[in-house]
Chain A
Amino acid sequence: MSDPYGSKLRELIKIVEETRPDRLRRKYRRLSLDERNELVSKWHPDYRPDTKRTLNVGPCKGQVVYNEIADLLEAWPLIEPDNVDLSKVDYDVDILVIGGGGAGVAAALWACYSGVEPDRILLATKLRLGDANTVKARTGIQAADRPEDSPLLHYLDTLGGGHFTNKPELVKALVSDAPLIIKWLEDLGFMFDKSPSGDMIEYAGGGACRRRLHCARDCTGLELMRVIKDEVINVGIPVLEYSPAIELLTDPETGAVSGAVLLNLETEEYLIVRAKATILATGGCGRLHAAGFPTTNHYGATADGIVLGYRVGAKLRDMDTLQFHPTGAAWPEAIRGELVPEKTRSLGGQLVNVKGELFIYELEPRDVVASAIIRECAEERGIETPVGAYGVWLDTPLIEELRGSGTIKRELPALYKMFMRQGIDITVDPILVFPTLHYQNGGLEIDPYGRALRPNGEFIPGLFVAGEVAGGVHGRNRLVGNSLADILVFGRRTGINAAKVVMSSNSMQKISLDHLRTYMEELKTIGVPKSRKAPMLLPDYRGERVLLRRVRVL
């Protein structure tokens, strides 16, 4: 394989190498809250006027959201009430879980633990069980369980990272349940990084005042997903793959959510599910490529749950903010946008501009670090890649100098492998990084029980929301390691609370698509073209030439 860096980048790497001995002894200072705000408001995509617009339909009309989200909310449903036969119910269950990632699987398991029979649950997922952002989460899970730490400090860190815009009662739930989640995983047989005595080896994360990240090397999400996926199959919960929900169903008399319409992606047949409780755990929206950014997200991250929840009257919040992970791979092109985990910086990897200078303390909260990188590139202190994109250096060889040779292969085996496949040895050469669309900070607002709320603060009966699709836990910016904590804490809470609802109710709800009628009236009024439909389900990356010449026959 030829050198992916070529002669031009090789010259620039020399500057990183020359400045390394001096940087070894130095750290960039931490910014004050005011300095952080100034940096973020000047450079973060959330603050660019062209990335967002005001919503013209639905319960949160008037709210400002990212353009790509507005496009999906101001769109026609894939099915219309008069064209769907609801008289034949394909699955009649107690609990329908929509989403096969960490939140959905945790919800299904905890519903089971709470007394619901496994075969009274249905877990429907768009791709395969476990194909989700969870599996790609790398760095770790935050939980304040060391004697030097406390849930209060975790609470404070999470609020500070979210610029104090989080919903406090949700943060309290997150930090109070997180240690219990770690214990649960330990009991399931999760391979945590531990000292010989069994103590957790915990790492520092951006914006956290204590070392609190529980890891399974740099594959924490993979280990998490495969363990709980294994358990779902052991317990015997029925799973329907390649069957995303395309609409929720509601009881026409009460407005309660009473199931969903699924679509078999392969045969294109719709399926009707009636359920006493529905748990929406559909994940995030990275594949919308908001503001034109690449993404770290999995193939199915297309904000389906936001669309479905909004159409039954759920309240949205913080959808005008997205998390751009500071360090996506900027080069080589084949892996552009893929995640370079924060653990790389936890271990001491520094961010360096073209002149070999430090320009930010690398463990500031993510929006702050991302903004600083964008600034460096905009002010011509970035490094141009061979395809004309920009990035800054992440000095990975420094980790080996700080922590001893062999550290990278031991602590970051997946990252090492990812770059080796592209011909770059990160123990020897630094890598180029640039922010990449990573996480949906906001979503459908929930209460501490995981119930979906309406704009008036009342909960929507029968509808629970967990994980990335939910809003309020992280406010306007999420800290590292709080998403894995979030999906399990609120997955568990929704599972337990859905089980309570189910076990205290005998009556079977009615099903309808009536909620779409008023929504469709609004769409008609504002003149949304009939061709614009949602949910998106999967992104379309087909080449332009093919799409132009396509004849749809079969």
Chain B
Amino acid sequence: MVRIYYMGKAYEVPEGLTIMKALEYAGFRFIRGSGCRGGFCGACGVIYRNPGEYKLQVGLACQTVVKDGMYLAILPYSPMVKPAYKVEELKPDLGSILKYFPEIVRCVSCNACTKACPQGLEVMEAIQAIRQNDIKRAAILTFDCISCGLCSTRCPAEIRHPLIFQLVRRLYGKYLLPKAKHVEQRVKEISEGVWEAEFDRLMKMPIDELKKLYTERRIEGR
């Protein structure tokens, strides 16, 4: 067993559990602070301090294993307001970002955001990339962002990082990645009913013939 301090109060919990499972063992039933439980949704951002250390560490309660003597708090919400925009009316450049998130000019490069990222992203680098009008680099740097918002809670410039990165990735995906022509072609074929007759045939086919067709179909290599 190890002892953890959840919001200052001590609980004895088994070793090897994640913070989330340990708190449940201790008697907590989450409403907020538990989402996907697999490290993707950002509902369970956690700030903790290890015994004898002055530094605050960050993690996800569903991914971080308890350590003896750790002090922790879960921060399931960050009061950021998301502006509404129409991606189809924007250009993939710094101007679009500044229009909705003017605060990015206030970045002082303190790097507190990067230190607060449980995903280990180069958060400050991404903000700088945007300021240099490099949307592609910012999109790629922030691909793994789970929008937990811990970065924003630590930012002295009140930058809304997860919201900015979301816009950046959409601009990149929409304007800077070339379109897949084969997808457009297939959508056109389907809308023209190119496959209808064959569908009819398959859907009326006796099950044994269908199974034969299935078994004998050619399988493409990896």
Q: B-contacting residues of A (Cβ < 8 Å)?
A: 30, 32-33, 127-128, 130-133, 135-136, 143-148, 150-153, 155-157, 159-160, 164, 168-169, 172, 176, 179-180, 182-183, 186-192, 194, 196-200, 203-204, 209-211, 216-217, 219, 221-223, 226-227, 230, 233-236, 242, 265-266, 296, 298-299, 332-335, 338-339, 346-348, 413-414, 417-418, 421-422, 538, 540-543, 546-547, 550
A339 vs B40: C-alpha distance when bound (angstroms): 12
User: Would B82 and A299 count as touching, CB distance under 8 A?
Assistant: no
Q: Do B210 and A164 touch (CB < 8 A)?
A: yes
In the bound complex, what is the Cα–Cα distance between A540 and B31 (angstroms)? 11
| Complex: A93 Cα to B200 Cα, angstroms | 39
Q: Are A421 and B27 in contact (CB under 8 A)?
A: no
Chain A contacts of B171 at CB under 8 A? 189
Q: Smallest Cβ distance from B181 to chain A, in angstroms? A: 7
With beta carbons under 8 angstroms apart, the residue of A151, A199, A209, A334 that contacts B218 is A209
Give the complex CA separation of A153 and B120 in angstroms. 41
List of B residues within 8 angstroms of A147 by Cβ: 182, 185
> Does residue B63 face the partner (Cβ distance < 8 Å to A)?
yes
Instruction: Tell me if B95 counts as interface (CB < 8 A to partner A).
Output: no
A156 interface neighbour in B27, B64, B217, Cβ under 8 Å: B217
Residue from the list A33, A182, A346, A538 in contact with B31, Cβ < 8 A:
A538
Interface residues of chain B, those whose CB is within 8 Å of chain A, are 16-18, 21, 24-32, 34-41, 43, 63-65, 82, 84-88, 119-120, 139, 143-144, 146-147, 166-167, 169-175, 177-187, 190, 195, 198-199, 202-203, 207, 210-211, 213-215, 217-222
- Give the 5 A-B residue pairs with the shortest CB-CB distance, closest first: A198-B178, A189-B170, A546-B27, A189-B174, A189-B173
CB closest residue in chain B, given A184: B187
* Distance of A543 Cα from B219 Cα, bound (Å): 49
Please report the C-alpha to C-alpha distance between residue A143 and residue B186 in the assembled complex, in whole angstroms: 10
* Contact partners of A183 in chain B: CB under 8 A: 183-184, 187
CA distance A194 to B64 in the complex (A): 33
A127–B26 contact, CB under 8 A? no
Instruction: Kindly list chain A residues whose C-beta atoms are within 8 Å of the C-beta of B63.
Output: 334-335, 418, 421
Q: With A and B bound together, what is the CA distance between A427 and B179 in angstroms?
A: 33
Pairwise interchain contact A234-B84, C-beta atoms closer than 8 A: yes
A233: B residues at CB distance < 8 A: 82, 84
A345 to chain B, nearest CB (A): 10
Contacts of A235 in B (CB 8 A): 84
Q: Specify which of A130, A151, A204, A413 is in contact with B195 (CB 8 Å cutoff).
A: A151
A125–B203 Cα distance when bound, in Å, is: 37
Residues in chain B near residue A216, CB distance under 8 A:
143
* A338–B38 alpha-carbon span in the complex (Å): 7
Q: Would you list 5 pairs from A and B whose C-beta atoms are within 8 A, ordered by A residue? A: A33-B211, A152-B199, A183-B187, A194-B180, A298-B37
A133 to B177, CA, bound (A): 27
Q: How far is the CB of A32 from chain B (nearest CB, A)?
A: 7
Are the C-beta atoms of A542 and B29 separated by less than 8 Å? Answer: yes
Assess the A334–B65 pair: CB atoms within 8 A: yes
**A127–B220 contact, CB under 8 A?**
no
A197 partner residues in chain B, CB cutoff 8 A: 178
A200 touches B180 (CB 8 A): yes
- A191 close to B85 (CB less than 8 A): no
Asked whether, in the complex, the Cβ of A192 is within 8 Å of the Cβ of B214, the reply is: no
Q: By the criterion CB–CB under 8 Å, are A414 and B39 in contact?
A: yes
- Starting from the known contacts A176-B199, A199-B181, A334-B17, 14 additional A-B residue pairs (CB-CB under 8 Å) come to A136-B41, A152-B195, A159-B214, A164-B210, A179-B186, A182-B180, A189-B172, A191-B177, A230-B82, A298-B38, A333-B16, A334-B18, A414-B39, A543-B26
Is the Cβ of A136 less than 8 Å from the Cβ of B36? yes
Most chain A beta-carbon neighbours within 10 Å: one of B38, B64, B86, B182 = B38
Question: Considering the chains assembled together, what is the distance between the CA atoms of A152 and B200 in angstroms?
Answer: 10
Asked if B17 and A538 make an inter-chain contact with CB atoms under 8 angstroms apart, the answer reads no
B26 & A135 in contact (Cβ 8 Å cutoff)? no
Is A136's CB under 8 angstroms from B38's CB?
Answer: yes
When C-beta atoms are compared, the residue in chain B nearest to A329 turns out to be B38
A211 touches B222 (CB 8 A): yes
A210: chain B residues within 8 A (beta carbon): 220
- B159 CB to closest chain A CB, in angstroms? 18
User: Complex: how many Å from CA A474 to CA B129?
Assistant: 44
Asked if residues A194 and B38 are in contact (CB atoms below 8 Å), the reply is: no
Residues in B neighbouring A217, C-beta threshold 8 A: 143
- Nearest A-chain residue to B13, judged by Cβ: A543
On whether the beta carbons of A179 and B170 are closer than 8 Å, the reply is no
Shortest Cβ distance from A133 into B: residue: B36
Given A156-B202, A219-B143, CB of A543 within 8 Å of CB of B25: yes
Chain B neighbourhood of A30, CB < 8 A: 219
Known pairs A191-B177, A242-B31; A204 contacts B222 (CB<8 A): yes
Q: Let me know if B43 and A128 touch, CB within 8 A.
A: yes
CB distance A135 to B214 under 8 Å?
no
Expressed in whole angstroms, the Cα–Cα distance for A45 and B36 within the complex equals: 25
A200 to B183, CA, bound (A): 8
Residue of B40, B203, B215 touching A135 (CB-CB under 8 A)? B40
B179 touches A198 (CB 8 A): yes
Most chain B CB within a 10 A radius of its CB, from A183, A204, A217, A223: A183
Q: How close is B101's CB to chain A, nearest CB, in angstroms?
A: 14
Supposing A179-B183, A186-B183 touch, asked if A230 and B35 sit within 8 A by C-beta, the answer is no
**Given A145-B183, A148-B220, A155–B199 Cβ distance below 8 Å?**
yes
- On chain A, the residues within 8 Å of B40 by CB distance are 135-136, 219, 221-222, 414
Q: Residues of A contacting B213 with CB < 8 Å?
A: 156
Residue of A nearest to B35 (CB): A131
Structural contact, A159 and B179, CB atoms closer than 8 A: no
With contacts A186-B173, A538-B31 taken as known, whether A152 is within 8 angstroms of B183 at the C-beta atoms is no
Query: What B residues does A234 contact at CB under 8 A?
Result: 84-87
Contact of B139 among A136, A151, A191, A541 (CB under 8 A): A191
Given known contacts A128-B35, A159-B214, A542 and B28 CB-to-CB distance under 8 angstroms: yes
B177, A198: Cβ atoms closer than 8 Å:
yes
Say yes or no: B24 contacts A542, CB within 8 Å.
yes
Knowing A183-B187, A191-B143, A417-B120, say if A32 contacts B214 (CB, 8 Å).
no
Which residues of chain B have C-beta atoms less than 8 A from A541's C-beta? Answer: 21, 24-25, 29
